Amino acid sequence: MESTTEIRMMNVVLVGYRAAGKSTIGENLALKLGFNFYDVDRYIEPHIYPKTLTEFYSKVGEKGFRPLETKIVIKLCNRPQSVIAFGAGSLMRNRNQQAAKKNGFVIYVKVPAKELWNRIQSDPNSGHTRPNLAGGGLEEVQIFLRNREPDYLSCSNLIVDGMKPTAEIVQQIKQFYRSNLRT
């Protein structure tokens, strides 16, 4: 009698604060794995609200945005063989945590607050794609990172240093992924 082993393909969910590099890492990783890439925030723009995420968020606020975001998260996490970049606050809802972990490895892209702030400032599109939540500035980054990091850490299967070159991070995640596939 011959034994067959079927490898269950898992998704990869990238979490971390805004400007951590989740989208860049995700696009590159998806290419290396032969997976589809989805960015939760960018998915909302053409599919749900035709303008920018910042405009949408300012129109509906936190209470209007988060339930919609959860629908998108669940939809994307149910797609097979995908790399999904969560928004900075996506992991703060329990349903989103469950969706991320159900069929995926959760990877926290960790970057210090000062570097995140430097990246946000140097991105000319930041004002259009990332709404200020508490007045902006380094202090906002520090406050939100301090509040969100416990969830990033507790949900993660792997923590990567977001200060390293993208290619190195992608290789680290790819190695982790391949060595941890479920059979």
pLDDT value of residue 57: 76
What is the band of 2 on the pLDDT scale with cuts at 50, 70, 90?
very low
Which pTM was predicted? 0.88
d(CA 62, CA 65): 5
| Percentage of the chain modeled with pLDDT above 70 | 84
For residue range 5-42, what is the model confidence (pLDDT) as tens digits?
Answer: 455 689 999 999 999 999 999 999 999 999 999 999 88
- Computed over every residue of the chain, the mean pLDDT equals 87
Q: Evaluate the CA torsion angle 96, 97, 101, 102 in order and state its sign.
A: negative
What is the band of 88 on the pLDDT scale with cuts at 50, 70, 90?
very high
pLDDT value of residue 102: 94
Other Cβ atoms closer than 10 A to 147 = 11
pLDDT value of residue 1: 46
Are the CB atoms for 125 and 100 separated by under 8 Å?
A: no
Q: How is the chain split among helix, strand and coil, in percent rounded to 5?
A: 55, 15, 30
Q: Rounded mean pLDDT of 67-91? A: 95
pLDDT value of residue 58: 79
